[in-house]
């Protein structure tokens, strides 16, 4: 009976309290909009949303008061690219969803949302270090198309999805070449063919609607084998016989082709970036976002003119492949200085676990301003790189990533400057609800930090 009661109490303690009106006062507040920190400022939260942030803010009567004197207050960190929630510890591929599904029949139709586990250890660890939202991408299987990614929160509940099917993720460049038979030209042909199949399917769907035929989900409609069947609905809506994609995959690419879903394309070298920009000219409705772009600084003018945003690695300057030969820590600074919209992500750098390193990398970019010949960022720009910038790129700037009024109340109180790795998150709020900061690592630390000598294993007593 006592054990059962204890278990209930422990479970209750692990669940955050409901959202309430909160006033965080006397802190050094940075709103995440690119400006610098504000001394002695106040942040007011009500019903899970930001009411106000700054100086001269009126504190509502009855609000829960939190004195942040000597502390820093910022929006929660937004991981601009990750595989958070898809895998546990590195004990094997079993139970991990950040592995390649080489034997599966689908590619573009894959939706990563059902695989997200908000109670995986990496989610807890990153939440404890101020990461409140993450852009989560699937891993490309046998095709260049990995599937549809999501934006999630790291809160303690079983509803992690902030936005499902937020984007389609595609591998081009070196990785895409390997998926498409070993060459970049093959990958680009595969990409164009996939969009052609999606276009045919989209025209057929519109033809069915315009004919007055009974509406069915396009994903469930059988493949057209008889050309006359398609012509009976629309003269030019026939789907080709030589299709490479399943109908599910082609249907998943229709919103991408129409510009209703973003397309994240992973490329690193400058020439591959230019090829992606050419694809956008060929298919102008595509909402392209470049992921990686180690050599983006070589084509800043073209990126800026095309208005294509970039999610880049933080401080990569040691090329791990030939397509990253021109990598430099000044990459982000130079792109931003040229007018390119840039956010930071963890691309091919422990995308599943150590997302909290983003704030240290952002601090490194601030330090670059003191290095002769390098191009860094101001403190406010660096914070925006890991808060409001990824939110804006994902089309969610009106919801997350800053402390502007009306945004979701993802707020972190830090012991000091959050871009200093010596600082720690002392309180984390997601949608205005304070989250627990305990995780497997902290429990192990507390368990063994002050272990009495008599409890040590025999080998440790000598």
Q: Which CATH number fits domain 77-183+252-399: 3.90.70.10, 3.20.20.140, 2.60.40.3080, 3.30.1950.10?
A: 3.20.20.140
**409-433 confidence digits (pLDDT tens):** 999 999 999 999 999 999 999 999 9
Mode of pairing for the β-strands spanning 49-54 and 64-67: unpaired
Q: Which residue has the higher pLDDT, 452 or 124?
A: 124
**321-335 confidence digits (pLDDT tens):** 777 888 899 999 999
CATH 3.20.20.140 positions along the chain are 77-183+252-399
The pLDDT of residue 147 is above 70: yes
**Which residues fall within 8 angstroms of residue 253, CB to CB, at 6 or more apart?**
108, 145, 168, 194, 195, 197, 198, 245
pLDDT at 156: 94
Give the phi and the psi of residue 49 in degrees, each rounded to 5: -125, 155
Looking at the DSSP assignment, which residues form a beta bridge with residue 435? 428
Other C-beta atoms closer than 10 Å to the C-beta of 338 total 18
**54-84 confidence digits (pLDDT tens):** 999 999 999 999 999 999 999 999 999 999 9
> How many Cα atoms are found within 13 Å in the side-chain-facing hemisphere of 16?
21
pLDDT at 196: 86
Q: What percent of the chain has pLDDT over 70?
A: 81
pLDDT category at 316 given cuts 50, 70, 90 is: confident
**153-166 confidence digits (pLDDT tens):** 999 999 999 999 99
Give the phi and the psi of residue 270 in degrees, each rounded to 5: -60, -45
Q: Which helix (H) or strand (E) holds 21?
A: none
DSSP-based three-state secondary structure for 450: coil
**Which residues fall within 8 angstroms of residue 238, CB to CB, at 6 or more apart?**
200, 204, 224, 227, 230, 231
pLDDT at 99: 52
């Amino acid at each position: 009976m006592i054990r059962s009661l204890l278990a209930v109490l422990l479970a209750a303690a692990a669940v955050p309290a409901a959202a309430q009106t909160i006033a965080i006062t006397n802190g050094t507040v940075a709103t995440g909009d690119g400006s610098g920190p504000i001394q002695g400022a106040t942040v007011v939260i009500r019903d899970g949303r930001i009411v106000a942030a700054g100086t001269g803010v009126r504190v509502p009567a009855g609000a829960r008061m939190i004195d942040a004197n000597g502390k820093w207050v910022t929006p929660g960190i937004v991981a601009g690219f990750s595989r958070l929630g898809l895998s546990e510890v590195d004990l094997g591929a079993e139970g991990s969803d950040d592995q390649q599904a080489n034997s599966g029949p689908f590619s573009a139709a894959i939706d990563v949302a059902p695989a997200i586990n908000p109670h995986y250890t990496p989610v807890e660890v990153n939440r404890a270090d101020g990461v409140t939202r993450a852009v989560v991408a699937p891993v490309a299987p046998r095709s260049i198309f990995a599937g549809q990614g999501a934006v999630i929160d790291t809160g303690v509940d079983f509803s992690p999805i902030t936005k499902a099917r937020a984007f389609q993720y595609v591998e081009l460049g070196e990785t895409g070449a390997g998926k498409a038979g070993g060459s970049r030209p093959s990958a680009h042909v595969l990409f164009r063919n996939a969009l052609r199949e999606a276009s045919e399917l989209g025209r057929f769907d519109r033809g069915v609607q315009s004919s007055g035929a009974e509406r069915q989900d396009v994903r469930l409609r059988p493949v057209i084998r008889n050309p006359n069947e398609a012509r009976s609905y629309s003269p030019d809506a026939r789907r080709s016989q030589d299709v490479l994609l399943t109908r599910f995959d082609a249907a998943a690419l229709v919103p991408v082709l129409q510009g209703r879903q973003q397309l994240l394309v992973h490329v690193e070298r400058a020439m591959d970036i230019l090829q992606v920009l050419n694809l956008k000219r060929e298919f102008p409705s595509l909402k392209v976002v470049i992921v990686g772009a180690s050599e983006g600084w070589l084509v800043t003018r073209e990126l800026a003119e095309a208005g294509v945003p970039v999610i880049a690695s933080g401080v990569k300057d040691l090329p791990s492949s030939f397509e990253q030969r021109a990598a430099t820590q000044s990459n982000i600074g130079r792109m931003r200085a040229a007018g390119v919209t840039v956010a930071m992500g963890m691309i091919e750098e422990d995308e599943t676990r150590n997302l909290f390193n983003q704030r240290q990398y952002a601090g490194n970019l601030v330090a670059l301003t003191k290095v002769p010949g390098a191009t860094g960022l101001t403190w406010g720009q660096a914070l925006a790189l890991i808060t409001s910038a990824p939110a804006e790129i994902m089309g969610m700037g009106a919801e997350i990533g800053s402390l502007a009024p009306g945004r979701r109340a993802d707020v972190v109180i830090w012991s000091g400057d959050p871009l200093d790795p010596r600082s720690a998150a002392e309180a984390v709020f997601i949608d205005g609800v304070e989250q627990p900061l305990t995780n497997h690592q902290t429990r192990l630390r507390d368990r063994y930090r002050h272990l009495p000598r008599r409890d040590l294993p025999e080998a440790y007593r000598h």
